[in-house]
Amino acid sequence: MPFREKSAWVMAAIIAVTAALYAALVAPLGGRVPPLIVVVLSVIVLAVLSVFGQIAIALLAPRDAGAPADERDRRIADRAGHLSGVVLAAGIVIAMGMYLVGHPGSHMFHAAFFSLIAAQMTEYVLQIWYYRRGL
């Protein structure tokens, strides 16, 4: 398994954990807690888990960790990034629509933040799929 595919697996798992944490913090509170507190906590968890996850896979394959991306890696990253951008754009449009129909600004914020999470998860899942598919 290529190093970048391992990295995508690790990051997809970390994004899933962070998204679950975010949802667990936001759902029962009904938007009554300032979004900044929830986002800062989620970002801290994401950063810490990402650092430890990337260090772990780099220690298992130090030579692969330092290797530059080849043409296949760049192509996979480009395709996955393009489609994840579409997911992000759709999510932001939905978040803005929520605001236009009268939902509070905090709901718009949470929808936009969830769009960022969904787009990043989409990128990692597509990278894994492209590596497995043999692009």
| pLDDT 10s digits, 64-89 | 888 888 899 999 999 999 999 999 99
Domain count of the fold of the chain: 1
Q: What pTM value is reported for the model? A: 0.86
Q: What is the distance between the alpha carbons of residues 7 and 80, in angstroms, rounded to a whole number? A: 14
CA 26 distance to own-chain centroid? 17
Please tell me the predicted confidence (pLDDT) of residue 8. Answer: 95
Q: What is the distance between the alpha carbons of residues 23 and 74, in angstroms, rounded to a whole number? A: 32
Name the more confident of 24 and 44. 44
pLDDT over 90 (residue 46): yes
Place of tokens 């290529």: 2
What amino acid is encoded at 31 in this protein?
G
The dihedrals phi and psi of 101, each to the nearest 5 degrees, come to -90, 5
Please tell me the predicted confidence (pLDDT) of residue 31. Answer: 57
Please tell me the predicted confidence (pLDDT) of residue 33. Answer: 66
What is the mean pLDDT of the segment spanning 53-60?
93
Please tell me the predicted confidence (pLDDT) of residue 36. Answer: 80
CA 113 distance to own-chain centroid? 10
Please tell me the predicted confidence (pLDDT) of residue 58. Answer: 92
pLDDT over 70 (residue 107): yes
What amino acid is encoded at 82 in this protein?
H
* Helices 3-26 and 71-100, packing angle to 10 deg: 20
Average pLDDT over all residues of the chain: 89
Domain housing 71: 3-133
